[in-house]
């Protein structure tokens, strides 16, 4: 468990750094494009495609970071109707279903990467694989984060049962 937690904390730090870098590059390229267009009436066609790739990476890395911090939206008004004991089981079931979903995303995301590797963007001569790769990376990282969350939930449940048995 310690190794998984350490790996996940490192992944979170890497994700935050990448998000900052990608946002900075995206902002810089947009400013450069606007400046060039206004001053020289010249467009950098590659900026639109590069920013599309960066936007997809930012979206999926941000979503993975959200799963790490358990900050995604859930339907609270239904969840709160359960007793605290049932809420624990619902949470674990939710994590297990998320793992299944992420596994499917990883498999089909890999298929998209393979299919995209044979096509290139018109203005950048970069493979479409870079546009599809965040789907696969998001799924794998989210599986790691979700496994840690399941383990923490089960450990809390186990400690709760052991505490009740000791009394």
For residue range 128-137, list pLDDT tens digits in order. 999 999 999 9
Map tokens 């994700």 to a residue.
15
Q: Which two tokens stand for residue 92?
A: 């674990």
Question: Between vectors from CA 139 to CA 71 and to CA 143, what angle results, nearest 5°?
Answer: 70
> Rounded to an integer, what distance in angstroms lies between the CA atom of residue 75 and that of residue 78?
6
- In sequence order, the β-bridge partners of residue 4 are none
Map tokens 């450069």 to a residue.
32
Where are the alpha helices (H) located in 41-83, listed in sequence order?
Answer: 46-69, 76-79
Q: Break the chain into its structural domains and give their ranges.
A: 2-166
Exposure string over 45-55, b if 16+ CB within 10 A, otherwise e: ebbeebbebbe
- In sequence order, the β-bridge partners of residue 120 are 127
| DSSP H or E stretch at residue 4 | helix 2-40
- What tens digit of pLDDT does each residue of 84-120 get? 888 888 888 888 999 999 999 999 999 999 999 999 9
pTM of structure: 0.84
> Rounded to an integer, what distance in angstroms lies between the CA atom of residue 165 and that of residue 167?
6
Q: Tens-digit pLDDT profile for the chain (167 aa)?
A: 689 889 999 999 999 999 999 999 999 999 999 998 899 988 888 899 999 999 999 999 999 998 888 787 766 777 888 888 888 888 888 889 999 999 999 999 999 999 999 999 988 889 999 999 999 999 999 999 999 988 888 888 777 766 654 43
For residues 68 and 8, is the Cβ–Cβ distance under 8 A? yes
Q: Which two tokens stand for residue 5?
A: 């937690």
Q: Which two tokens stand for residue 121?
A: 């963007």
């Amino acid at each position: 468990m310690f190794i998984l937690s350490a790996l996940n904390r490192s992944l979170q730090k890497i994700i935050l750094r990448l998000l900052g870098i990608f946002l900075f590059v995206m902002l810089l390229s947009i400013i450069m494009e606007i400046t060039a267009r206004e001053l020289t009436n010249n467009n950098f066609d590659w900026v639109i495609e590069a920013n599309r790739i960066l936007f997809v990476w930012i979206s999926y890395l941000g979503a993975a970071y959200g799963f790490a911090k358990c900050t995604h939206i859930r339907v609270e008004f239904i969840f709160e109707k359960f007793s605290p004991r049932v809420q624990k089981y619902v949470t674990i079931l939710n994590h297990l279903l998320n793992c299944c979903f992420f596994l499917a995303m990883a498999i089909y995301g890999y298929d998209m990467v393979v299919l995209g590797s044979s096509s290139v963007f018109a203005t950048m001569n970069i493979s479409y694989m870079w546009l599809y790769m965040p789907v696969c990376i998001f799924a794998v990282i989210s599986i790691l984060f979700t496994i840690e969350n399941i383990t923490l939930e089960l450990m809390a449940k186990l400690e709760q049962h052991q505490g009740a048995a000791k009394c």
